[in-house]
């Protein structure tokens, strides 16, 4: 999944894969995983 996100625009990918309700929780996880 991480390699896939690197090869695609993450904002575009997450918009497609996640609903607005899921985005907030997923962004928190993504920030921890990516270290940003």
Residue with the bigger pLDDT between 24 and 7: it is 24
User: Which residue in the block uniquely carries the two structure tokens 């999944």?
Assistant: 1
* pLDDT tens readout for residues 8-19: 666 666 666 666
Residue ranges covered by each domain of the chain: 2-34
Split at pLDDT 50, 70, 90, the class of 30 is: confident
**C-alpha separations of 4 from 9, 10, 22, 23, 33 in Å:** 9, 9, 19, 18, 14
Q: What is the mean pLDDT of the chain?
A: 72
Confidence grade of residue 31 (pLDDT, cut at 50, 70, 90): confident
Measured distance CA(2)–CA(15) in Å, rounded: 16
Q: Let me know: does 4 contact 14? Beta carbons within 8 Å.
A: no
* % of the chain with per-residue pLDDT over 70: 42
Fill in the DSSP letter of residue 18. S
């Amino acid at each position: 999944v991480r390699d896939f996100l690197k090869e695609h625009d993450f904002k575009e990918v997450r918009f497609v894969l996640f609903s607005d309700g899921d985005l907030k929780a997923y962004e928190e996880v993504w920030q921890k995983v990516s270290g940003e």
